[in-house]
Structure 1
Amino acid sequence: MKEKPQQLSQRLFFQGRKFNFEVNRLRLPNGVEGDWECIRHPGGALGVPVTPEGKLVLVNQYRFAVEGRLLEFPAGTVEVNEDPAMTIKREIEEETGYRAHRWRKLGQFPLAPGYSDEYIYAFLAQDLEKLEKPPQQDEDEDIEVVVLSPPELEEIILTSDRVDAKSVTSFFLARPFLLEFS
Structure 2
Amino acid sequence: MSNQKESPTYLQQRLFYRGRKFNFDVHTLRLPNGVEGNWECIRHPGGALAVPITSEGKLVLVKQYRFAIEGRILEFPAGTLEVNEDASITIQREIEEETGYHAHKWNYLGQFPLAPGYSDEYIYAFLAQDLEKLEKPPQQDDDEDIEVILMSFDEFEQAILTGELIDAKSIASFFMAKLWLIEEDKR
Q: How does the TM-score come out when normalised to structure 2? A: 0.94
Per-residue deviation at 1:57? Answer: 0.1
Partner letter of residue 136 of structure 2?
Answer: K
Aligned counterparts of 2:178 and 2:162: Cα–Cα separation in 1 = 18
Q: Deviations over 1:98-117 (max 9, x none)?
A: 00000000100000000000
Q: Does 1:65 align with 2:68?
A: yes
Per-residue deviation at 1:158? Answer: 1.2
Partner letter of residue 65 of structure 2?
Answer: Y
Within 5 Å, which residues of 2 pair with 1:63-142?
Answer: 63-142=66-145
For the Cα contact (< 8 Å) 1:58–1:72, is it kept in 2? yes
- Extract unaligned runs of 5+ from structure 1: none
Partner letter of residue 55 of structure 1?
Answer: K
Identify the range of structure 1 (154-163 vs 68-77) with the bigger mean alpha-carbon deviation.
154-163
Q: How does the TM-score come out when normalised to structure 1? A: 0.97
Per-residue deviation at 1:159? Answer: 1.0
Partner-residue secondary structure (3-state), 1:36 = strand
The one of 145, 151, 155 equivalent to 1:152 is 155
Partner-residue secondary structure (3-state), 2:138 = coil
For the Cα contact (< 8 Å) 1:10–1:25, is it kept in 2? yes
Per-residue deviation at 1:176? Answer: 2.5
Q: Deviations over 1:28-59 (max 9, x none)?
A: 01110000000000000000000011100000
Partner letter of residue 149 of structure 1?
Answer: S
Aligned counterparts of 1:138 and 1:87: Cα–Cα separation in 2 = 14
Partner-residue secondary structure (3-state), 1:100 = strand
Partner letter of residue 107 of structure 1?
Answer: G
Alignment partner, residue 166 of structure 2: 163
For the Cα contact (< 8 Å) 1:12–1:20, is it kept in 2? yes
How well do the aligned residues superpose, as a CA RMSD in angstroms?
Answer: 0.9
**Kindly, what percent of the aligned residue pairs are identical?**
74
- Extract unaligned runs of 5+ from structure 2: none
